[in-house]
Structure 1
Amino acid sequence: MLIDWSLIATREADALHDTVVDMEGWAMPLDAAAQSADYFLLSAETPCCGGCVSRNPATSVEVLAAQPMPVGDVTRVRGRLMRLQDDPAGWRYQLVDASTAPGQPVAGSPRVSRRVFLAAGAAMGLAACAPGRFANYTDAPSDASSRWTPPPGALTIDMHSHAGRVIISRDPKIGANRPFLPAAEPMRAGGMNVICLAIVTDTTVVHVGAGGNRFEAFRAPEPGELYQVGMTEFARARRLIEREQLHVVTDAASLAAMGTQGPSVIIASEGADFLEGRIERVDEAYTQHRLRHLQLTHYRVNELGDIQTEPPVHGGLTDFGADVVRRCNARGIVVDVAHGTYDLVKRAAATTTKPLVLSHTALSGSPRPRSRLISADHARAVADTGGVIGVWPNAADFPSLDAMALGIKRMADVVGVAHVGLGTDMLGFIRPPVFTSYTQLPALATALLKAGFTSVEVGQILGGNYRRVFEATVG
């Protein structure tokens, strides 16, 4: 049965969940040079060039093929249509166990040859379409002073990322075995050296709320459930690291050594829910899973404290949360207060002996109730520990990279350049943000220069500041 793309846009395809269907569209691999792939996007929209990948969940579905299929042209695909529940990357549907469907594309389908498709990507050289390194970034202005080149020994670091898609699916038919996405190649292409690769430990008890705008807890976890989620995702992180041949950073020496040898990761956890009130699990995560960055809370009010998106219960950081901060300080784990309330941050700042980070947010003059944005005082509470606030690329806050750069400038005006970093929350948004791939890092660096930052300051923002905190914490 060939289904129309309108069913995807309107979500009427929900009624076809777990049904074998045919779909027709443009087979778009993440690697534009690939001749075949077992994972790609099928899109109703004709791409503009060889490096352009759709970000629109109303006109694209993920395809998980049974074996590599030809890509780079209009094709008809047959597979089981799976409705995704609260997918962290924002996709609505997948075609699994897919293969090439019999028959030809229907009359009137857009036809662009692969040769033209790839040639267009080479010719256009657009930042939004073609990846590039800092050294040969073609979308930057011709004036060399408007391009940023990292100085020798500098590292670019993303303070918060789900790259590769280590988060387990809430759909039990996909669950812990959902396919990974490429992580290393986009990092190489854009010049991103290190990412804080974050598992998420409240996945099974959180979903997108009725308004469709934010995540929220919808039930209480069973005893041991969130610990098991954490162990499953730590295992997925290990598999991704092996598959992508990533380096794992565990201390200052390995950060200096590995960060320049190839794409590297700092193991992180978004939410300490997997502790389930047991302090010894901090030690277990440190030794067995190489955890070096721990965010205390996420989208449920947990044993450690209150969150920005729900009414307060504990009055901020709990006594157990303070114990976890102290244990992280002693062990050498960066403490991340993202998602925590201002009251939580204030007590964490009074408790810690090491700098805090708030890995992904943005500044607001007057944050709305239940907003993930923060006030100037909230930001200063982190900065006053010597810490760093990561600015994120949420499209609701910043409609373009230039706007994001100005948002970073506003944060720097409040807390100082030394206390601002980059937290992309890669693959963590409900709706696609303005920064969707590390191949856009050169464009962001250029936008920061345009916003008035010096080259040295750009280096601080894109990694130097977080590196200082990591080295001071981990040793």
Structure 2
Amino acid sequence: MQIDWSTIRTGDADRLHGTAIDISGWMIPLDPQADAVDYFLLSADEPCCGGCVPRNPLTSIEVQMAAPLAPQAEALALRGRLVCLLDDPAGWRYRLVDAVPVDQSPQASQRRFSRRAFLASGAALGLTACAPGHFAGYTEAHDETAQTTQSETAPRWQAPAGALTIDMHSHGGRVIVSRNPVIGANRPFIPLSAPMRAGGMNVICLAIVTDTTVTRVADNRKRFEAWREPQPGELYALGQTEFLRAHQLVEREQIRVVTNTASLTALGPQGPCAIISAEGADFLEGQVDRVDEAYTKHQLRHLQLTHYRVNELGDIQTEPPVHGGLTDIGAQVVQRCNALGIVVDVAHGTYDLVKRAADTSTKPLVLSHSALATHPGARSRLITPDHARVIAGTGGIIGVWPSSGTFHDLHAMAEGVKRMADVVGVEHVGLGTDMLGFISPPVFRSYEQLPDLASALLQAGFSQVEVGAILGGNYLRVFQASVG
């Protein structure tokens, strides 16, 4: 069945859920490093540059190809099964799955060309001249040139001398080992220090992920989930590889690693700096003594207990509970982190996990990346006010993230920060961008956008001092209390 974009814009496509359709549009790859992609956006309108992503979910659809397709700079026709998305975390309304190009003629094949030809053609060179209604510079290769327009009349944050800006949760530089077994640990890095300097981001908690080999994106929902049990030693080995990769990245980018409050306050204002972090303690494989090894050998100073698999430490928000919250091993890990000087992060953990962690910990807790919701869904990563208050009750902080499934732009994100502050107090709120960790593009895509986010926070009603606390001061306090 051939459909046009009016069917998408009006929502009439809802009735076509599960139907095979043909549709034409413009390809917007989200990974410019690939010579061929099996996931991209199809847009109703020709993008003004290679890095533009439509703001309106009714002018583009997600596409999952049956086989990888080379980037194309002109319109293409696709055939696939239309899926209507409900409560998608990235805000998309429709997805085309098992898609194939409709035109398989030799002429169509000649129109396909490599990423290098796509970039050289000039289609991806106009990153700072995006038309209204588009975001500039999402794609990873554009970090150094991404620019965000800001009104000359918008208030600007005046950072006091010695102030620190800190991202509580980042995979910047593309530190994570690829889930693609062909790329794996050889995934090329992308620039990190340049966009940090350009936007004024001093310090990031650089997070490795140690469950990538046993988790994947669910076929029907585009969410990460565990799909098999790891082999003994597999996730420990993955952790060693990722810690090494993190240190290779900081060396290449000339980023300094901070390991205590003295080095953070001395080196942080000079930037760029990193706090070595792990998203998920899966690499421990239930062995508490490995916390000591990671602290000494790899300079780990920020540990998130769980990620996308129910591990030995506790339950996660996106899967049914197994342990009833934090396990006894999880409690021992919290205690060991307290003794050594490692920030404990309970992001992804269930409310029950967070409550026991709060009862166990003698130091403030961090929930590095989420947002507030009155009634989160069964698999939602959002948290309730009570969930947030448990963190605040330890003296800790909640990092508000820039998910486009939660906020439609930076101003909406700033309002989300305000709602969180209204619940727990501004001293318990921070920034956790989850940089390069989202499946679909978030509303904060480059550290070059940090001045715009600060401006949006001022417009949301925060004072200059409060903006400084949110963008780094609050995390500095928790780091000092936890690490020393």
Considering the TM-score relative to the shorter chain, is it more than 0.5?
A: yes
TM-score by length of 2: 0.75
The question of 1:389 aligning with 2:416 is answered no
The question of 1:399 aligning with 2:408 is answered yes
The question of 1:287 aligning with 2:296 is answered yes
**In 2, Cα distance between equivalents of 1:257 and 1:164:** 24
Worse overlay, 245-254 or 122-131:
122-131
**Map of 1:80-95 to 2, 5 A cutoff?**
none
Change (3 A) 1:431 1:113: closer
Could you tell me which residue of structure 2 aligns to residue 330 of structure 1? Answer: 339
Change (3 A) 1:39 1:261: farther
Q: CA RMSD in A?
A: 3.9
The question of 1:259 aligning with 2:235 is answered no
Change (3 A) 1:141 1:348: same
Quote the offset at 1:174 in angstroms.
0.8
**In 1, Cα distance between equivalents of 2:118 and 2:182:** 33
Q: What secondary structure, in the 3-state scheme, does the structure 1 residue paired with 2:270 have?
A: coil
Quote the offset at 1:149 in angstroms.
2.0
Quote the offset at 1:114 in angstroms.
5.8
- Does structure 1 retain, via aligned residues, the 8 Å contact 2:137–2:446? no
Could you tell me which residue of structure 1 aligns to residue 374 of structure 2? Answer: 365
- Does structure 2 retain, via aligned residues, the 8 Å contact 1:28–1:41? no
The question of 1:141 aligning with 2:155 is answered no
Could you tell me which residue of structure 1 aligns to residue 465 of structure 2? Answer: 456
- Give unmatched runs, 5+ long, in structure 1: 1-23, 31-37, 64-72, 76-89, 93-102, 132-136
- Aligned AA (2:480): E
**In 2, Cα distance between equivalents of 1:219 and 1:262:** 40
Worse overlay, 157-166 or 257-266:
257-266
Quote the offset at 1:209 in angstroms.
1.6
Could you tell me which of 148, 171, 174 is aligned with 1:165? 174
- Does structure 2 retain, via aligned residues, the 8 Å contact 1:198–1:269? yes
The question of 1:441 aligning with 2:450 is answered yes
Change (3 A) 1:126 1:446: farther
Quote the offset at 1:368 in angstroms.
1.5
Q: What secondary structure, in the 3-state scheme, does the structure 2 residue paired with 1:265 have?
A: strand
Change (3 A) 1:207 1:256: same
- Aligned AA (1:321): G
- Does structure 2 retain, via aligned residues, the 8 Å contact 1:140–1:147? no
Q: Deviations over 1:167-220 (max 9, x none)?
A: 111222111101111111111111111110000011111111232232111111
The question of 1:379 aligning with 2:392 is answered no
Q: Deviations over 1:377-400 (max 9, x none)?
A: 100000000000001111111111
Change (3 A) 1:60 1:456: farther
Could you tell me which of 234, 239, 245 is aligned with 2:254? 245
**In 2, Cα distance between equivalents of 1:168 and 1:53:** 26
Could you tell me which residue of structure 2 aligns to residue 472 of structure 1? Answer: 481
- Does structure 1 retain, via aligned residues, the 8 Å contact 2:396–2:478? yes
Change (3 A) 1:191 1:41: farther
**Map of 1:53-64 to 2, 5 A cutoff?**
none
**Map of 1:118-267 to 2, 5 A cutoff?**
121=128, 128-129=135-136, 139-143=149-153, 146-267=155-276
Q: What secondary structure, in the 3-state scheme, does the structure 2 residue paired with 1:344 have?
A: helix
Quote the offset at 1:138 in angstroms.
8.3
**In 2, Cα distance between equivalents of 1:435 and 1:41:** 26
Instruction: Work out the percentage of aligned pairs sharing the same amino acid.
Output: 63
**In 1, Cα distance between equivalents of 2:312 and 2:29:** 45
Q: Deviations over 1:431-467 (max 9, x none)?
A: 1111111111111111111111111111111111111
- Does structure 1 retain, via aligned residues, the 8 Å contact 2:130–2:136? no
Change (3 A) 1:117 1:427: closer
- Aligned AA (1:416): G
Q: Deviations over 1:130-171 (max 9, x none)?
A: 89xxxxx98443347x11121111111110010111111122
- Does structure 2 retain, via aligned residues, the 8 Å contact 1:125–1:139? no
Could you tell me which residue of structure 2 aligns to residue 78 of structure 1? Answer: none
- Does structure 2 retain, via aligned residues, the 8 Å contact 1:161–1:426? yes
Worse overlay, 255-264 or 242-251:
255-264
**In 2, Cα distance between equivalents of 1:179 and 1:140:** 32
Equivalent pairs counted in the alignment come to 407
**In 2, Cα distance between equivalents of 1:418 and 1:364:** 19
**In 2, Cα distance between equivalents of 1:420 and 1:168:** 30
**Map of 1:407-418 to 2, 5 A cutoff?**
407-418=416-427
**In 2, Cα distance between equivalents of 1:354 and 1:112:** 52
- Aligned AA (1:438): Y
- Does structure 2 retain, via aligned residues, the 8 Å contact 1:282–1:327? yes
**In 1, Cα distance between equivalents of 2:167 and 2:119:** 38
**In 2, Cα distance between equivalents of 1:292 and 1:453:** 30
Could you tell me which residue of structure 2 aligns to residue 275 of structure 1? Answer: 284
- Give unmatched runs, 5+ long, in structure 2: 1-25, 55-59, 75-91, 98-109, 139-146
Quote the offset at 1:41 in angstroms.
10
Could you tell me which of 414, 425, 435 is aligned with 2:434? 425
Quote the offset at 1:59 in angstroms.
8.8
Change (3 A) 1:116 1:156: closer
- Aligned AA (2:252): R
Q: What secondary structure, in the 3-state scheme, does the structure 1 residue paired with 2:301 have?
A: strand
- Aligned AA (1:240): L
